[in-house]
Amino acid sequence: LNALHGGFVFDDGSLITRHPAVHGPFRLGTVLTAPLIGDAPKTAIWRPATTLSLALDWRIGGGHPFWFHLVNLLTYAGITVLWTLLVRRLFRSLTLAMVAGFLFAAHPLHTEAVAWISGRGDLLAALFGLIALHLALADRSRLRPWSYVAVFLALASKETAAILPLLILYTLR
């Protein structure tokens, strides 16, 4: 919550304020094909879901850092709920799920990803990864194929989501 009134810092310039695809005229094709780092266009880092998220935030929040921080905080709250529900689903224990959810929410390891706007890729990868796990474990078989879409969105957010297919296979065994 302390970060809500913070400004743009460190990598936020390269990702947001100096990134023409984020704060310039909105063209979906440009946003989805732009490199993550806007002031270094020859970089090999490409995270279209993260760039799209930041571009949408720029437009919705009028370029004010408060909005970006709020979206990070709300995304983290959603991740915490999904994590708690996943623990409950896997271990069938409300008490364990609540303890795991509280520990996840309060753990200081997550501070940078939530407080720094540049942590958006981590948050989106976690959000879509947890959605993918929930969909893969769904009782309704019609929902399971949507887990592929969620895995794709997680990968389009940050490369660390590459572990998701193996994690889903392990969870389904």
Confidence of residue 42 (pLDDT cuts 50, 70, 90): confident
- Write the pLDDT tens digit of every residue in 95-115: 999 999 999 999 988 888 899
The share of the chain scoring above pLDDT 70, in percent, equals 99
Q: Is the pLDDT of residue 173 over 80?
A: no
Q: Is the pLDDT of residue 41 over 80?
A: no
- Write the pLDDT tens digit of every residue in 43-79: 779 999 999 999 999 999 999 999 999 999 999 999 9
CA distance 129 to 161: 7
pLDDT given at position 44:
77
With vertex at residue 156, the alpha carbon angle to CA 150 and CA 159, rounded to the nearest 5 degrees, is: 105
Instruction: Compute the Cα dihedral for 62, 124, 26, 46 and give only its sign.
Output: positive
- Write the pLDDT tens digit of every residue in 137-158: 998 888 988 999 999 999 999 9
pLDDT given at position 78:
98
pTM: 0.93
